[in-house]
Amino acid sequence: MPRTVVLDPVQEASLDRLVAAGRYGSSEEAIAAGVALLLRHEDRLATLHQSWHEGVESGDYQPLDATLDALEARYGALEKASP
Protein backbone atom coordinates (compact mmCIF):
# COMPACT_ATOMS: atom_id res chain seq x y z
CA MET A 1 0.00 0.00 0.00
CA PRO A 2 1.50 3.39 -0.95
CA ARG A 3 2.40 5.66 1.94
CA THR A 4 3.66 9.21 2.06
CA VAL A 5 6.75 9.73 4.19
CA VAL A 6 7.79 13.23 5.21
CA LEU A 7 11.52 13.70 5.72
CA ASP A 8 13.33 16.69 7.10
CA PRO A 9 15.89 18.33 4.77
CA VAL A 10 18.85 16.48 6.31
CA GLN A 11 17.13 13.11 6.00
CA GLU A 12 16.10 13.87 2.43
CA ALA A 13 19.62 14.92 1.43
CA SER A 14 21.07 11.79 3.06
CA LEU A 15 18.60 9.59 1.23
CA ASP A 16 19.37 11.32 -2.07
CA ARG A 17 23.12 10.78 -1.50
CA LEU A 18 22.64 7.08 -0.79
CA VAL A 19 20.63 6.59 -3.95
CA ALA A 20 22.99 8.74 -6.08
CA ALA A 21 25.98 6.75 -4.79
CA GLY A 22 24.31 3.55 -5.92
CA ARG A 23 23.94 2.13 -2.42
CA TYR A 24 20.23 1.74 -3.08
CA GLY A 25 18.32 1.56 -6.33
CA SER A 26 15.62 3.95 -5.19
CA SER A 27 14.38 5.96 -2.23
CA GLU A 28 11.77 3.28 -1.60
CA GLU A 29 14.47 0.59 -1.42
CA ALA A 30 16.52 2.66 1.04
CA ILE A 31 13.50 3.34 3.23
CA ALA A 32 12.57 -0.35 3.16
CA ALA A 33 16.11 -1.18 4.35
CA GLY A 34 15.71 1.36 7.14
CA VAL A 35 12.40 -0.14 8.22
CA ALA A 36 13.99 -3.62 8.19
CA LEU A 37 16.72 -2.34 10.54
CA LEU A 38 14.10 -0.77 12.78
CA LEU A 39 12.19 -4.05 12.97
CA ARG A 40 15.37 -5.98 13.86
CA HIS A 41 16.10 -3.42 16.56
CA GLU A 42 12.59 -3.77 17.97
CA ASP A 43 12.93 -7.58 17.97
CA ARG A 44 16.20 -7.32 19.89
CA LEU A 45 14.61 -4.96 22.41
CA ALA A 46 11.70 -7.35 22.87
CA THR A 47 14.14 -10.23 23.45
CA LEU A 48 16.11 -8.19 25.99
CA HIS A 49 12.93 -7.14 27.75
CA GLN A 50 11.70 -10.74 27.91
CA SER A 51 15.08 -11.93 29.24
CA TRP A 52 15.09 -9.20 31.86
CA HIS A 53 11.54 -10.09 32.90
CA GLU A 54 12.45 -13.79 33.19
CA GLY A 55 15.47 -12.89 35.31
CA VAL A 56 13.38 -10.78 37.66
CA GLU A 57 10.74 -13.48 37.90
CA SER A 58 13.39 -16.08 38.76
CA GLY A 59 14.03 -14.20 42.00
CA ASP A 60 17.78 -14.45 41.46
CA TYR A 61 18.57 -10.84 40.69
CA GLN A 62 19.78 -7.73 42.39
CA PRO A 63 18.52 -4.26 41.45
CA LEU A 64 20.91 -2.48 39.10
CA ASP A 65 21.46 0.42 41.49
CA ALA A 66 22.83 -1.93 44.15
CA THR A 67 25.14 -3.58 41.62
CA LEU A 68 26.41 -0.25 40.35
CA ASP A 69 26.97 1.00 43.92
CA ALA A 70 28.98 -2.14 44.72
CA LEU A 71 31.11 -1.74 41.60
CA GLU A 72 31.70 1.94 42.29
CA ALA A 73 32.81 1.16 45.86
CA ARG A 74 35.08 -1.66 44.69
CA TYR A 75 36.81 0.27 41.93
CA GLY A 76 36.85 3.50 43.93
CA ALA A 77 38.77 1.68 46.66
CA LEU A 78 41.22 0.34 44.05
CA GLU A 79 41.84 3.84 42.69
CA LYS A 80 42.54 5.18 46.18
CA ALA A 81 44.99 2.33 46.84
CA SER A 82 46.91 2.96 43.60
CA PRO A 83 50.03 5.18 43.88
| Segment 43-47 long-range contacts (CB within 8 Å, at least 24 positions apart) | none
Confidence of residue 2 (pLDDT cuts 50, 70, 90): confident
Per-residue confidence (pLDDT) for residue 83, from 0 to 100? 63
How far is Cα of residue 76 from the mean position of the Cα atoms in its chain? Answer: 30
Per-residue confidence (pLDDT) for residue 16, from 0 to 100? 97
Domain ranges of the chain: 9-81
Q: For the residues 72-77, what does the mean pLDDT come to?
A: 87
Q: Are 7 and 19 in contact (CB under 8 A)?
A: no
**CA–CA distance, 32 with 23 (Å, rounded to integer):** 13
Report the mean per-residue pLDDT for the chain. Answer: 90
Of residues 62 and 38, more confidently modeled? 38
Per-residue confidence (pLDDT) for residue 64, from 0 to 100? 82
